[in-house]
Structure 1
């Protein structure tokens, strides 16, 4: 059975909603694009447009692939949904897709 965080992220993908959360001790502002499983573990592919990161965040934002188990305090946020110009590139973050943004 999917975790509550997985379900929140799945809903955000299907409705193109922003999600803020904590990951590895850093606050992230994201737009989830896909959620599913990689090697049986819950994964999410997000476009991070603001917040913090251990490696820094480019001004234009960056794609991030994360295990859902490490996402904490996820909340849907108001505001326009965002993506990057290379959004159509094939993703390798998720083997079994549960939800993916429909363009």
Structure 2
């Protein structure tokens, strides 16, 4: 059974909502794109971080283990898609939901 944080991120993808949260002690503002589990079977999300705190330049792609996410909430706002994919993502190996495959193709 998915965790409550997983459900929040999954619903945000379906509604194209931003997610605000704390991850690794830093405030993040994200648009989640792909959710599922990683190679270790942990809940994970690939998200475009467009604002907040970061150890590097923003915006950029982030791979988050959902067990490490704190104080998450979804909000309406501009949807950010991120830059081009130069390599195949390895964050989420068992994909449950991908905005480009499951959400946008249904429209």
TM-score (norm 1): 0.89
For residue 65 of structure 1, give the secondary structure of its aligned residue in structure 2: strand
Partner of 1:67: 65
By percentage of residues, which structure has more helix?
Answer: 2
* Consecutive aligned runs of 4 or more in structure 1 exceeding 3 Å deviation: none
Number of residue-to-residue matches in the alignment: 100
Question: Hey, what does 2:18 align to over in structure 1?
Answer: 18
Map residues 70-81 of structure 1 onto 2, 5 A cutoff. 70-81=68-79
Counterpart in 1 of 2:98? 100
What CA distance in whole angstroms lies between the structure 2 residues aligned with 1:3 and 1:78? 22
Provide the alpha-carbon RMSD of the alignment: 1.5
User: Tell me, what secondary structure is at the counterpart of 1:6?
Assistant: helix
**With structure 2 as the length reference, what TM-score do the two structures score?**
0.86
2:90 aligned counterpart, secondary structure: coil
Give 5+ residue unaligned stretches, structure 1. none
Deviation of residue 8 (structure 1)? 0.5
- Structure 2: stretches of 5+ with no match in the other structure: none
The offset of 1:88, in angstroms, is 7.9
Q: How far apart, in 1, do the equivalents of 2:52 and 2:3 lie?
A: 24
